[in-house]
Amino acid sequence: MIKNDLFLRALKGETVDRPPVWMMRQAGRYLPEFMEIKEKYDFFTRCQTPELASEITVQPIRRYGMDAAILFCDILVIPQAMNIHVEMKPGLGPWLPNPIRTQKDLESVIVPDIHDTLGYVMEAIKMTKEKLNDDIPLIGFAGSPWTILCYCVQGQGSKTFDKAKELCFTKPTVAHELLQKITDTTILYLKEKVKAGVNAVQLFDSWGGMLSPTDYQEFSWQYMQQIIDALKDETPVIAFGKGCWFALDTMAKSGASALGVDWTCSPTNARYLSGGKITLQGNFDPVRLLSPPAVIKKMVKEMIDDFGKDRYIVNLGHGILPNVPVENAAAFIEAVKEYKAD
């Protein structure tokens, strides 16, 4: 039994004294103890070494005592497993030297054996569960098929992902075949994560907001729905689409346990658009963590009041930034733990 099950209770929609809190990308780059590890090991070594991944996962828990941990990993381990070469270049980010842009390119893309290609993730989960000792739940995650496709086709990060969209609009057959392979791999991967011990999973559709509402349904949401359908009876699923407020009504009917919301959608609108009956997660602007701690605490209190304490998980509207002072992150967590409704 998980000792602090506040996060899991919020996912079920149960009444709580205060909402649970964790932060996207909480395991990582703003923590001095993480930077010590970063200086010694490159990015994918950190992901692929279970001892390092589990240590990085629990670092913020030791420091702040969040209500849930999220496994340190990366969404791009999926294309790596699918036989697509992925590097992480300092100062540039993801770099895929052989992007997938034609039917011929697709021939080498596989739906892999998860144990052969991603077994290190399952080992990291088991090690992390030992370290957490059932104190709090552990979250596993994956990128949405559309977000993974963006990198696989573009070959790197982008402000527009124009080449990814061009492929979808000019060679839709190729795009859909790639999306289905990513979806099939992601389902197998997340099912193994559940078997290894994660207590919930989150799908990150970081680039969903790049698409129009119509294109979103065709090239992103239908594949996220397949993943939710495959996982929802085994574990709670959180669906997070950045910039996808227009799809909250569809998402709310998906069978997901919770929906992530970014900072461009107010709590009132998020409740309205999602029908008011599903757990919501978010939506503090990560850059607001650069505000003075007293301001952060005041804004967090107001955010909880606006969302309501039940059916709500306090989080950021996207990942925490590397330049956030540790005391500001502490103020964010403390504000939730100190929360009392007026």
- The CA distance from 66 to 235, in Å, is 20
28 has binding-site annotation: yes
For residue 158, what is the enclosing H or E element?
A: none
44 has binding-site annotation: yes
Query: Which single residue is written with the structure tokens 């791999």?
Result: 185
311 has binding-site annotation: no
> CB under 8 Å to 75, separation ≥6 — which residues?
141, 142, 143, 147, 148, 204, 206
Choose among 253, 282, 255, 256: nearest CA to 269.
282
- The CA distance from 131 to 8, in Å, is 19
DSSP letter string over 222-291? HHHHHHHHHHTTTS-EEEEETT-GGGHHHHHTTT-SEEEE-TTS-HHHHHHHTTT-SEEEEEE-GGGGGS
156 has binding-site annotation: no
305 has binding-site annotation: no
- The CA distance from 139 to 52, in Å, is 17
Token pair, residue 304, equals: 């909880």
318 has binding-site annotation: yes
CB 178 within 8 A of CB 152: yes
26 has binding-site annotation: yes
- The CA distance from 60 to 56, in Å, is 8
69 has binding-site annotation: no
233 has binding-site annotation: no
**What proportions of the chain, in percent to the nearest 5, are helix, strand and coil?**
50, 10, 35
25 has binding-site annotation: yes
Annotated binding-site members: 25-29, 44, 74, 151, 206, 318
Annotated binding-site members for substrate: 25-29, 44, 74, 151, 206, 318
